[in-house]
Structure 1
Amino acid sequence: MTQPTGTTRVLILGGSLAGTLAAAALAPHVSEVLVLERERVLPETPVPRPRLPQAAHAHMLWAGGADAIEELLPGTTDRWLKAGAHRIPIPNGMVSFAPAGWFRRWTETHYLIGASRDLVDWGVRAAVLQIPNIRMRTGATVISLVGNASKVSGVRVQDKDGQESVIDADLVIDATGRGSKILQWLGEIGGPVVEETVVDAGVRYASRRYRAPEGTETNWPVIHIQADPREGRPGQVVSIIPIEDGQWHISLSGTRGGEPSADEALFEEFARGVRHPLAAEFLARAEPVSDVVVYGRTANRQRRFEKAAMPAGFVVLGDAATSLNPVYGHGMSAAALGAVALRDTAAKMPVTSAKFATRAQKAVARPATAAWLLAVGQDRFYPGAVTKAPTLGDKLAARYVQRLSRTAIGNFLVVKALTDVMTMKKPASVLAGPAVLFAATRGLRRPLLEGPDLTERERSVLDREPLVRAEKSRTV
């Protein structure tokens, strides 16, 4: 571990998940970490934040991300579970309809955390604010960087009363998310032009919470009906994720031309119209406890800061660097793994080193790039997707993943490899290992399932009478 020297200060721009995890990552290596948050007040309990609209939608924190957070902040998993989150085993705790068919529920290899985004953020924030050399300043809006093309030395901020001031720092981390003004800020100080790629399938989300049917409040699987990019029509997805307070969090999503509506009367109708109606059958036996909330800022956007001649003393991470279509559930895990990479870089050299920012930017880009490839590998094939035409290599890679997905229906080795990658525990290169290649060549070891692999307890819920819904407006 590098030891803090003098009065080394790090500024973290943004107090959401990526920012607070970055603060935890750097705290052991510097004298002071100051987190600048635009919100005037951050909640002390797991409740919504006005400037985090995506929190209203279902989130999956995969094992790779959860383990990274636990590594940075030991005890966080217990905090989540005691507050009502669920540790859901994978793949046996997931009923998933893939393009190739229904997955078998093999023995546990990984897990995910079933919880609202509000609970996940609160658990992390509560732990981070207990670290003595971390402070959070709320009501602080960053309006520009201070420095030049060679070195960033701080930021200019505006407080809640409109007063401006400069805060100096040895290192500045931009974690301000999808709405980051980083390209503008860099331009203002003569910084580099940064390569940017956008893959936008036009995904729109509609989400709602339901009270879990009696007897399903605990030990309940994720229900996930996937889209199939090969069908040549908009991709529509529905997910049911058990969360705290005995609730299910349901998110519908559709790509351009197949978006879900904000109309409550159409919510379950959409769920019934995806590739299989299983999720809709469960929803018909559960009681809605929230309004329908929609969200449309879902484009995949990659900014290659690690390839640019960035000024020293400045690093960009999280959604400010790589933002992902939320349907794959990798945003939180990528941010957590990026924070671990930031910590590991700080353990090897002081943050005041002239080369620190360059090395750190490359390190945090690796997990983000892995998540990016998982997302755009499907999104670029949907009708109406805004992107460059897929290359021959893209098409061959997609065909290989489709082959693996089909093989996984009846081959545990391939399921394990795919889940290693999906949960961000291992890099995608494991899918090219000799054993996996051989398995893909051999194909299915067991036949396709004719229907979902449900337990007797899960089937018993479907035996109940559907609840009667009050008729409401069907205005789209």
Structure 2
Amino acid sequence: MSEASRLGPTRAVVIGGSIAGMLAAAAVKDHVGSVEIIEAHELPEGPEPRVGVPQAVHIHLLQSGGAEAMEELLHGTVGRLLAAGAHRIPMTTDMVIYSPEGWYRRWQRPTHHLLAASRDLTDHIVREQVLREPRITVRTGTRCTGLLGSSRRVTGVRIRTAGGTEKELRADLVIDASGRASRTPRWLTELGITGLTEEHIDSGLVYASRMYRAPVSTRGWPMVSVNADPRLPRPANAGGILPIEGDRWHVSLMGAPGGQPTRDPDAFEPFARTLRHPVIADLLTHARPLTGVSITHSTANRRHHYERLRTWPEGLVALGDSVAAFNPVYGQGISVIAQGALALRELLSEGLVPGYARRAQRAIARPVEVAWALAVGQDIHFSTTTGKSPGLADRLLHRYVSRLSLTATGSFRAATALTDVLTLRARPTSLVRPGVLLSALLGPLRPQLRGPQFTPAELALLTGRHEQP
């Protein structure tokens, strides 16, 4: 007998048709009788922009830890992404990265990978998979205006259609996946639940992105990244080129207050030349822009500590950006969502038993904590950051991670330890294992690279020996 049959006609309502909402629906579908997704906008039928996702115009990565979680939830998703043109990028074999400590080597023994695709394609593949399930339906043009129930149990949601009609939807489980605009903090207060703590840490980075037609096939082309260095006496800036479907380069540039990029397309490539190394600007001289420049200012790290509340109602769970949103420069968002959704599913193996919602919220907080430590642990060291300043422990940890990063430029063991954490396959505490500590103490085993490590074919493009089609 299936879990849904044993439980009876249980119903889940998911607030938001985002990727978090879709993965939440996938997580619970086999354990409830039906799932209804409430979405304020119409959903596109293909790999097209979705209203309300301004961050989609910027580069997105799916870390291997997130890709594995997504595959567990939706078998075949990774294969469908690759078939549609997404790239599987081995770390650090196909990565040209300039860290604050130097150039990383392209080790030929990849231990992890990234999936690179446009956000529109990733959303489409996930949405297509999820909505194929007959137990999952979507109600578009509808907004949730509040929760039903009490501080002890949420029993559904109040909704309003585009025409202004209001009604109540009863549900055994409500999942808030509405993103940064989540109103759950206010709704909890209306239910009498207080004491919620929030963190808001903002480095002030502004994102500018545009698409380019790559001058070569992007199959096998490396990801290129120039990272910001908080030690430099100038506004932090960074940038990256991500090869995606359709032989395109997705390019994002970032700058802190005092040195932020603009929407001016004529200023995009000159801004790339202000980074710590001109490699991105040099590559763009061979590519053809396909779009204008899109700007985003919402890059703050923001987190609601729902897992710390003394009171949490049965029947309510928050997931994704509704819980925590990160500076997108670290590429953790979708992976954290996938791991949180997988935790939802695993806990439902016993059904919607008493205490499920609180346990689920605490399980969701675990991958959030890893990504939060990575993002905030870097951002607080920029001079423009507001919301938190580094204490003694933060500075000591930053010095150790910097030493480990320096070691990683010439040590496969150190590079693997870092990528274990960056891909959300290990907790940050793994960086202080005895073997990793010893590696950091010994330092890099090979001399530092003087510049970006390209293959002969890639280097030919940089030196102008490749003719653009």
Which residue does 1:129 correspond to in 2? 131
Which residue does 2:59 correspond to in 1? 58
| Mean Cα deviation higher: 354-363 or 1-10 | 1-10
Q: Does 1:72 align with 2:73?
A: yes
Query: Which of 203, 211, 227 is residue 213 of structure 2 equivalent to?
Result: 211
Which residue does 1:409 correspond to in 2? 409
Q: CA deviation at 1:275?
A: 0.4
Q: How does 1:61-140 map to 2 (within 5 A)?
A: 61-107=62-108, 108-140=110-142
Letter in 1 for 2:423: T
Q: CA deviation at 1:383?
A: 1.3
User: Unaligned stretches of 5+ in structure 2?
Assistant: none
Letter in 2 for 1:24: A
Q: CA deviation at 1:466?
A: 10
Q: Does 1:16 align with 2:15?
A: no
Which residue does 1:354 correspond to in 2? 354
Letter in 2 for 1:158: R
Length-normalised TM-score, structure 2: 0.97
Q: Matched residues in 1 for 2:156 and 2:144: separation?
A: 10
Which residue does 2:260 correspond to in 1? 259
Question: Contact conserved, 1:25 with 1:340, CA < 8 A, in 2?
Answer: yes
Which residue does 1:472 correspond to in 2? none
CA deviation map 1:435-460 (0-9, x unaligned):
10111111111111111111001111
Q: Does 1:320 align with 2:325?
A: no
Letter in 2 for 1:43: P
Query: Which of 333, 336, 340 is residue 331 of structure 1 equivalent to?
Result: 333
Letter in 1 for 2:402: Q
Which residue does 1:238 correspond to in 2? 239
Query: What is the Cα-based RMSD across aligned positions, in Å?
Result: 1.5
Which residue does 1:181 correspond to in 2? 183
Q: Percent identity?
A: 47
User: Helix, strand or coil: the match of 1:231?
Assistant: coil
Q: CA deviation at 1:407?
A: 0.4
Q: How does 1:148-159 map to 2 (within 5 A)?
A: 148-159=150-161
Q: CA deviation at 1:216?
A: 3.0
CA deviation map 1:358-406 (0-9, x unaligned):
0000001100110011000111111121122212111111111101100
Letter in 1 for 2:107: W
Q: Matched residues in 1 for 2:320 and 2:433: separation?
A: 29
Q: How does 1:452-467 map to 2 (within 5 A)?
A: 452-464=452-464
Q: How does 1:280-291 map to 2 (within 5 A)?
A: 280-291=281-292
Q: Matched residues in 1 for 2:466 and 2:140: separation?
A: 47
Which residue does 2:277 correspond to in 1? 276
Q: CA deviation at 1:192?
A: 2.3
Letter in 2 for 1:156: R
Question: Contact conserved, 1:207 with 1:251, CA < 8 A, in 2?
Answer: yes
Which residue does 2:386 correspond to in 1? 386
Question: Contact conserved, 2:460 with 2:466, CA < 8 A, in 1?
Answer: no
Q: Matched residues in 2 for 1:390 and 1:463: separation?
A: 42
Q: Closer, same or farther in 2 for the Cα pair 1:467/1:375, shift >3 Å?
A: farther
Q: Matched residues in 2 for 1:300 and 1:106: separation?
A: 32
Q: CA deviation at 1:467?
A: 10
Q: CA deviation at 1:412?
A: 0.3
Q: CA deviation at 1:217?
A: 2.8
Q: Closer, same or farther in 2 for the Cα pair 1:146/1:232, shift >3 Å?
A: farther
User: Helix, strand or coil: the match of 2:43?
Assistant: coil
Q: CA deviation at 1:257?
A: 2.4
Q: Matched residues in 2 for 1:55 and 1:467: separation?
A: 31
Question: Contact conserved, 1:284 with 1:467, CA < 8 A, in 2?
Answer: no
Letter in 2 for 1:149: S
CA deviation map 1:68-101 (0-9, x unaligned):
1111101111111111111111101100000110
CA deviation map 1:157-202 (0-9, x unaligned):
0112110000011111111001111111112222223110111001
Q: Matched residues in 2 for 1:393 and 1:315: separation?
A: 33
User: Helix, strand or coil: the match of 1:245?
Assistant: coil
User: Unaligned stretches of 5+ in structure 1?
Assistant: 469-476
Q: Matched residues in 2 for 1:2 and 1:424: separation?
A: 32
